[in-house]
A and B are shown apart, each in its own frame.
Chain A
Amino acid sequence: MTGHTSIEPTGAGLSLHGVRKSFGSYTAVDDVTLDVLQGELLGLIGPNGAGKTTLFNIVTGFVRPDVGRVVFEGADVTRLKPDQRVRRGLVRTFQKSMVFPELSAEENIAMAARARQGSGYAWWRPAERAAEALAEGSRLLRAIGLERRGALPVGALSHGEQRMVDILVSLALRPRLLLMDEPTAGLTREETARVMDLVRAHDRSTTVVLIAHDLDVVFSLCERIAVLNLGALLAVGSPEEIRANPEVRTAYLGSHREH
């Protein structure tokens, strides 16, 4: 496995090689090969059922591909478990907010911060480590303007605020690669801008892959865009190239007709 790593192009944070996944007779992801460059913001779009979330699941290890390899920062991670990938900096957010509703926002973030520090399993903990984790929580909350809500149980926050906390939790892991599945769904324009600014400002070298239904968000923010349709990669390119691509238009028009 490691023998292949030398042939990876430099600059690729994440590479997918011929990845395929079927559920029964249904092929969710069909032979996808894709390089995501270190530090870029890549948009992943496609009609409903195009295989975007399955692709995320494959990259993060929640689903194992039938064939193909996932290479992250030069190392083959295809066989690693999800939590092992997270510890390498390969982090995701979920379509649905996955917060701990009974814990405060600060505690939610601290749970992630402790995981990153390596003190998540500690029993007899040094106090400064715990304080550090909580401080990370307040720092991130301040950065997005939620510091007043930090002590409330997350379940008591608004839907949009919960989404933002969810993303802060992922940022507290200091990801090298952040896969965001519909992070902006349910957020206002202004909240979306705040979230995406924070994600970019948090660490410039972090690679971000963004799934969003709101094409305006993708086209205005992303440096490159990849289009999936029926599990296959249709096109990759700059927003201008994608806008001009006739196949992409057909795929989207086709899906619009269904509605």
Chain B
Amino acid sequence: MEYYVIQSLNALVFAVILLLSGLGLSVVMSLMNFVNLTHGSLYLLGSYIAVFWMATGQPWYLAFPAAFLGGAAAGLILDRFPFQLFYARTHLMQVLLTYGLSVVFADLMRWGFGAHIATPQIPELLRGVVFILDTPFPIYRLFVLASGVVLAAGLWFLFDRTIWGAVVRACVVDTRIVEALGINTKHVFTAVLALSCGLGALSGALGSGILAAFPGLDEEILILAFIVVVVGGLGTFSGVAVSALVLGFTMTFAKMLSPEFSNLMSLAVMAGILIWRPDGLIAATRREV
């Protein structure tokens, strides 16, 4: 019994990391119709920022805003060039451009940060374990779980409940009308991209205490986040959340059942969902004839 509770907590923690990285991807995909495959690179960048920040002895909690700002700054540059040229292009061209960039970034990071596994020095406060049902559980994981839930809730509030979110959503429906209201949609898109990139880096910073940072993690996270977003139905908040939970729990419990076949099982579950529902778990729009 305790065992299952602990595994469920682990699954939740993993799901939260998937959710955060997935949300960043999903925000640009649903709001800007842009597929950004450099998202995994931004995650890894955030992880490295956290690792290096925590090694400097600065206040540890500032590592997270630092990662967010680092990612957002990278987003601002990428938006300038070359992303803006590709916002109106087809998904295929976007996929090609951003995949190519992710290959470049992967090699740059391997060059700059080395090929070894870098782990952050977790602060004293988050280092130990708590006992849940007499079983030890790392405090850091609870910290990731809590911050992830708060962040996700905040994002949902931002896009769903504020005027700012309404403007962004209106941009998706009809750019010209929003322009006619005197709002520069280009700036809105820039802001959304920066936010998404910052979020990617922030999830990397949070995840670094669990998954560490190493070359190749960018690609792994990218693929998982991409799967989560697509299986969720491309761009609905609830779809991403449900899909992250499904993948998080499947991967955790499949590993428990059989380490050998865990990947196969997880792949089969996600593929099964897409075969059963070709438009994802929660489809964003109704298809019209």
Contact = CB atoms under 8 A, between A and B. Distances in A.
Interface residues of A, number: 4
Nearest to B286: A23
Interface string B272-289: 000000000000001001
Nearest to A54: B289
Contacts of B286: 23
A235 interface: no
Interface string A49-74: 00000000100001100000000000
Interface in B240-289: 286, 289
Nearest to A62: B289
Contacts of A57: 289
Contacts of B289: 57, 62-63
A180 B125 CA distance: 73
B102 to A, nearest CB: 33
A23 B289 CA distance: 13
Nearest to A24: B286
Contacts of A23: 286
B94 to A, nearest CB: 24
Interface string A193-206: 00000000000000
Contacts of A63: 289
A62 B286 CA distance: 14
A113 to B, nearest CB: 25
B289 to A, nearest CB: 4
A63 B286 CA distance: 13
A23 to B, nearest CB: 8
Nearest to A63: B289
Nearest to A60: B289
Nearest to B289: A62
A149 B289 CA distance: 30
A81 to B, nearest CB: 13
A63 B289 CA distance: 8
A210 B288 CA distance: 22
B208 to A, nearest CB: 45
Interface string A230-249: 00000000000000000000
B12 to A, nearest CB: 35
B170 to A, nearest CB: 22
A181 to B, nearest CB: 11
B286 to A, nearest CB: 8
B284 to A, nearest CB: 16
Interface string B104-115: 000000000000
A144 to B, nearest CB: 28
A57 B287 CA distance: 14
A62 B287 CA distance: 11
A91 to B, nearest CB: 16
A127 to B, nearest CB: 36
Interface in B113-146: none
Interface in A53-112: 57, 62-63
B276 to A, nearest CB: 19
Interface in B179-221: none
A27 B273 CA distance: 31
Contacts of A62: 289
Nearest to A53: B289
A133 B152 CA distance: 59
- When A and B form their complex, which 4 residue pairs have the shortest distance between CB atoms, in order from nearest? A62-B289, A57-B289, A63-B289, A23-B286
4 contacts: A23-B286, A57-B289, A62-B289, A63-B289
Interface of B: 286, 289
Interface of A: 23, 57, 62-63
